Chain A
Amino acid sequence: MFGGEGGLDLKVLATYPFLPEASRYIREEGPPLEEVLEHRAFGNSRHLAKEKVFSSLESGELPELPMSSPPECLAALYAYPLARILVSCVGDPFLIRRFSLAEASLARRRFSREDPAFLMQLSQALRLDSSIDGSYRLHFSDFLEATKRLRGKEWKLINHPVQSGYVILSREKFLRVLEGHLRNRFEEELPLEVNEFLLEAFWEDVAKLREMLQERKSNLQSTDLGRITVANFPPCTQGLLATVLASENVPHQGRFALVSFLNNLGLGFEEIYRIFASVPDFRESVTRYQIEHITGRISGTEYTSPECSTMKSYGLCPGPDSLCQRITHPLGYYRLKTRTMSRRSETGSMAKAPTPPEE
């Protein structure tokens, strides 16, 4: 579709280096990897690759690359696989997420400059079942897959026209969907397998990136520590806990949500068991089994507590308060509120606490 002859095609490949045609070009027409990693001619590619990775971590925004001549296009084209190798050498999940997001959003900026027909060619090259007919049409399963991280009601399938398997989208939304698709794909593909040779070629940058990541983590953990404060629970789990303590019946999904939530906050089997044991009519063996199961004592799998959309589907969300608007997961609420509260107490202000969760 974007065959390899002529400068224009090379520019397309350099602009969209994640297309299957781009990797085929590199595989079949490019020099061997050792040469790209070591030869002076590819110094510019290596430089651009590092710049991509560092800026994805620092600002989340990737620079536009010059592509006015064939050598510049080649440099830009090779920067993409090299950056992926560097990310894989570090192998950190946070870096993978940041890099994938940044690459996908760069792609969206570039897509937005293309005309509809060419955009359609690109989306079909990405194996998306799409067509154009006044508006953009995309198979609903591709839409669901691409938008699985987007949680506003404007992204729910039900709030779109759907006809004979296809979702009808505006151009703006279609571009966002392409971005979502790429982001998921990049995250799934990384990390690539790396060997000693690659690690050695990038050792200096790998060390630097690891240091930056470590610094970020220690900052985060110092706010995460400290004991659990029930006042910082979101309305849903706070309500569930209150119900359990009042020895009223909590549906199965509700118990699962509460136990996994407490477990994710760092409470162990014994501590959670004690909360439930205070309930007068508590059924010893059943409760023990459930908690052991959820905290991973039996199955070896520790469960993550359900996200907001799941809580809503199960009817466990009592209705969001103002803080809920900013999160998609009950654990996010806890973290956010804990951070806000500790910042308040640090500044010593007597400002009012955030709106208390509604009953």
Chain B
Amino acid sequence: MEAEERVRTTLKYLKAKFKQYYETTPLHLPPRFGRREYGFIFFDGGYIQRHLAFSSEADLYSFLRSRLPSHIYHSAAYYENPGAPTMGEKGWMGADLIFDLDADHIPGSIGMGYKGMLEAVKDQVIRLIDEFLEQDMGFKSSEMTISFSGARGYHVHVRHQKILILKSHERREIVDYITGTGLDIDFIARSEPFELKTYKERSRTLKRLRIPTPSEPGWRGRASRGILRWVDQMSGLPEEEALVEIRKLEGVGQARSAKIYDTLFKRLGREQALERVRSGVLDFLPRAGGLSIAAQGVNLMKGVTDEPVTSDIKRLIRVIGSLHGKTGLMVVPLTRDQLEDFDPLTDAIPPIYSHETIRVHIQKGIETDMMGETFNLKRGKNRVPEYLAIFLMCRGMATLVSGTHDEESEETV
């Protein structure tokens, strides 16, 4: 009984906060506003309500203030009739190219903790923008909109004129390009004839493995930089550990790993090994070992992005400037430069959330960072700053305590 009551007052509290936010804070609405489909999820649960269109921004704001959705989305696509109930009737005209990086997709992100995951995903979004979207695909910063997703990741919206009309298949090719999927190792490392040896009237062609040099465009140069990085990493390890790592390469066993290690670091030595790789040869290794190292170089350089989000040309994506209903944090617009120092757990907290403490009941003990402070909260009733209370209530980890009972059992943090 009491628990139910608490959930009700919690929801009421959150709705009031969201209302206050939407009354004071403008959204960053997408270009072609009127051609987009909008979708909403509400606090009371239930399905997403989509296929809605608004002819003016004022209409959208009045909808927000009266209905108080917990999540707000717009379509990546723009349509002839964005409000039509089926995709067929909508009349697809084009769609922004969207990238979604979520902490879930970062290899090794489990066990990093919220803060660590957010850092790891930020590194990946910076690589995505700098290496893939700008360097290779040539998009200008004015053609990209970056945002923090409000939870555990980042979104990039690309609005370059030529990519708006690309369909799913072509967009999936772009994802494959970023994630290193379907890369043909022959494109990176090739055996080439090197010397003709003749012995007793029988001739034999010696071959060597050619790899790209670091400054070549696209994946060739990237693979070369990956190979350099790997050789460098190995050179920094004690022999025993390096051998363990080398054996992890595909097709490399005990004997081959020893041979690779000896050649790289005993016969040639670190500097000379790196120099040979930089000049584009791996001829000092057995061919199969060289290929495994080339493949490893590629692995180290793979980018990250969520495939279905990019290839779905009818997807809904969070409106920038809205609140994420599962965290209470803002979907924050960012420039490439702002991204470097952005700390979601400080910078995505809406200014209207106060530092005054309020009382919440916490379901399970939790340690978390916010506003540069570490909070260590035990199960039960706690007094915490409002911004943290809202975050925990949105995540379903705490409920609001109303009234004045139980004063003595409270802990103030």
Contact status B182-A158, CB under 8 Å: yes
Chain B residues lying within 8 Å of A221, measured Cβ to Cβ, are none
Chain A residues lying within 8 Å of B87, measured Cβ to Cβ, are 301
Chain A residues lying within 8 Å of B166, measured Cβ to Cβ, are 141, 144-145
Contact status B183-A159, CB under 8 Å: yes
A145 to B182, CA, bound (A): 18
Chain B residues lying within 8 Å of A141, measured Cβ to Cβ, are 160, 162-163, 166, 170
A140 to B170, CA, bound (A): 10
Known contacts A141-B163, A144-B170, A299-B86; A159/B138 CB under 8 A: no
Chain A residues lying within 8 Å of B162, measured Cβ to Cβ, are 129, 139, 141-142
Quick one: CB contact mask for A309-339 with B, threshold 8 Å, 1 for yes? Answer: 1101100000000000000000000000000
B:210-239 near A, CB below 8 Å = 216-220
Quick one: CB contact mask for A292-309 with B, threshold 8 Å, 1 for yes? Answer: 000000011100000001
Contact status A162-B218, CB under 8 Å: yes
Contact status B137-A140, CB under 8 Å: yes
A162 to B219, CA, bound (A): 8
Contact status A313-B184, CB under 8 Å: no
A145 to B183, CA, bound (A): 19
Nearest opposing residue in chain A for B135, CB measure = A164
Nearest opposing residue in chain B for A139, CB measure = B162
Q: How large is the interface on B (under 10, 10 to 19, 20 to 34, 35 or more residues)?
A: 35 or more
Nearest opposing residue in chain B for A300, CB measure = B86
A148 to B169, CA, bound (A): 7
Chain B residues lying within 8 Å of A345, measured Cβ to Cβ, are none
A132 to B169, CA, bound (A): 27
Nearest opposing residue in chain A for B212, CB measure = A161
Residue of A144, A163, A301 touching B217 (CB-CB under 8 A): A163
B:112-165 near A, CB below 8 Å = 135-139, 160, 162-163, 165
Binds A, one of B172-180, B274-282, B376-384: B172-180
Residue of B88, B160, B174, B182 touching A153 (CB-CB under 8 A): B182
Contact status B172-A166, CB under 8 Å: no
Residue of B88, B172, B187 touching A309 (CB-CB under 8 A): B172
- Shortest A281–chain B CB gap in Å is 24
A152 to B187, CA, bound (A): 13
Contact status B184-A154, CB under 8 Å: yes
A93 to B248, CA, bound (A): 52
Chain B residues lying within 8 Å of A162, measured Cβ to Cβ, are 136-137, 177, 217-219
A:49-102 near B, CB below 8 Å = none
Q: Tell me if B181 is interfacial: C-beta within 8 Å of chain A.
A: yes
Q: Tell me if B307 is interfacial: C-beta within 8 Å of chain A.
A: yes
Count residues of chain A with CB under 8 A from any CB of chain B.
Answer: 29
Q: Which residues in A have some Cβ–Cβ distance to B below 8 Å?
A: 129, 139-142, 144-145, 148, 153-154, 156-166, 168, 299-301, 309-310, 312-313
Residue of A129, A154, A157 touching B173 (CB-CB under 8 A): A157
Residue of B88, B138, B172 touching A164 (CB-CB under 8 A): B138
A141 to B173, CA, bound (A): 10
Chain A residues lying within 8 Å of B86, measured Cβ to Cβ, are 299-301
Contact status A157-B176, CB under 8 Å: yes
A306 to B225, CA, bound (A): 36
Task: Known A-B contacts: A165-B137, A300-B86. Give 8 more (CB < 8 A).
Answer: A158-B181, A158-B182, A159-B184, A161-B216, A161-B219, A163-B135, A163-B217, A164-B135
What are 6 sample pairs from A and B whose C-beta atoms fall under 8 A apart? A139-B162, A140-B137, A145-B165, A156-B177, A158-B173, A159-B182
Contact status A165-B139, CB under 8 Å: yes
Known contacts A163-B217, A313-B181, A313-B307; A156/B138 CB under 8 A: no
Chain B residues lying within 8 Å of A160, measured Cβ to Cβ, are 218
Contact status A148-B88, CB under 8 Å: no
Known contacts A142-B162, A153-B182; A159/B170 CB under 8 A: no
Contact status A158-B183, CB under 8 Å: yes
Nearest opposing residue in chain B for A160, CB measure = B218
A299 to B85, CA, bound (A): 10
A301 to B314, CA, bound (A): 15
Nearest opposing residue in chain B for A310, CB measure = B172
Chain B residues lying within 8 Å of A165, measured Cβ to Cβ, are 136-139
Chain A residues lying within 8 Å of B187, measured Cβ to Cβ, are 159
A141 to B311, CA, bound (A): 14
A26 to B4, CA, bound (A): 77
Chain B residues lying within 8 Å of A145, measured Cβ to Cβ, are 165-166, 170
Known contacts A141-B162, A153-B182, A300-B86; A161/B137 CB under 8 A: no
Nearest opposing residue in chain B for A156, CB measure = B182
- Shortest A138–chain B CB gap in Å is 11
